Structure formats: structure tokens, C-alpha cells
Amino acid sequence: MDNRRNIYLVGLMGAGKTTVGRQLARRLGRVFFDSDHEIVARTGVAVPTIFEIEGEDGFRRREAQTIAELTELDGIVMATGGGAVLNAETRKRLHESGWVVYLNVPPALLFERTKHDKNRPLLQVENPLARLEELHASRDPLYREAAHLTVEGGHLVAAGIVQYLLREYSRLYKS
């Protein structure tokens, strides 16, 4: 297996990028990064606070910069923030420097998974399900553009997705 090849997970809020990415990294004996967690560690404040102080644009600038730095590393697994693919340079950077997996999950299920969590500023609206549906419609093409593989993951438990990705990865990148 090509141990230098990075693995990146993209998809909407609640798709399971952090959950799957962390398990995948453990199984491969790799270092795991989460771009959201990295931004929080660097700024010392939570994501909603960055949105409040610097706006979404400010958060996006930090996100693009953080991902640019992490993609310079070798052999990592990274979960990206749900909106990272809005940046065209980030999409290209991810696609060219690693194996990109899009976890595609229906908005109704994303809503069930995220409805009690206050940590996602874009979902603090009157109708978060409608918001997730809009975000899914507008971003789905961007996730597909960045990705090498799409997992229709709605019906799968995280461990099942990890198993599937381990098989695909070793098939594609065995040396």
C-alpha cells in the first residue's frame, strides 16, 4: 500500500466525516486531522464564535489556509469541514494531493444526526432541514468534483463504511 497517499473525507454536516475518518486513521495506523478541530485549536475559540466575530468569509479564509497546510503532509487522514469544497482552490488541492471520499447522506438523516447540536452555525435557523436540503442541492456537485469516490452512506453504520474504504483503498493504492 502507498503509505504516503493522503485520504480526505468530504460531505455535509453530519455525514460522518469525523467519525469515519478517525476510525479509518486508527485502522491504518495513521495520524488523523479534522480541519474544524485544527481551526479551533489554532484560534482557541469554537467555530460559532469565529462565525460571530469574523463572519462566514473569515472562517472560510482560515479553513482554506488550514487545509492548504495540512495537504502538504504525507500519509494523513483528514476530515474536512462541510463547506471546505466551496473554495475552488481547495477542491483542486484535495483532489490532486490525496484520495477524496464523498460521504453522501440524505438531508433528512443529516437533520436527525445534527438536530441537538448547537455547534454548527449554518443550522441555527428556523428550519434546519430545509437548510440542509438547500446545502445538499448546491454543494453536491462540488463534493463530486473534488471526490474520487462517492459512498452512498445513508444506510451504513460507520464501521461498515470504514471496512468498505479500507478494501477500496488497498485495491487502488497497493504498491
Ligand X SMILES: O=C(O)C1=C[C@@H](O)[C@@H](O)[C@H](O)C1
| Binding site members for substrate | 36, 60, 82, 139
Give dist(CA 10, CA 142) in Å, integer. 10
Size of the site for Mg ion (CB under 5 A): 1
Give dist(CA 40, CA 49) in Å, integer. 10
Which amino acid is located at 48 in the chain?
P
Q: Which of 7, 8, 19, 104 binds ligand ATP (CB under 6 A)?
A: 19
Q: How far is the CB of 167 from ligand X (least distance, A)?
A: 27
User: Torsion angle of alpha carbons 129, 132, 137, 143, nearest 10°?
Assistant: -150
Produce one character per residue of 27-54: b if its CB has 16 or more CB atoms within 10 Å, e if not: ebebebbbbbebbbeebeeebeebbeee
Q: Which of 18, 43, 150, 163 binds Mg ion (CB under 5 A)?
A: 18
Q: Which of 7, 13, 135, 151 binds ligand ATP (CB under 6 A)?
A: 13
Give dist(CA 142, CA 139) in Å, integer. 5
Q: Which of 24, 36, 136, 146 binds ligand ATP (CB under 6 A)?
A: 36
| Rounded CA Rg of the chain | 15
Site for ligand X in 33-62 (CB under 6 A): 36, 47
Site string for ligand X, 117-136 (x = CB under 6 A): ---xxx--------------
Which does residue 43 bind out of ligand ATP, ligand X, Mg ion, none, counting CB within 5 to 8 angstroms by kind? none
**Which is closer to Mg ion, CB of 4 or CB of 118?**
118
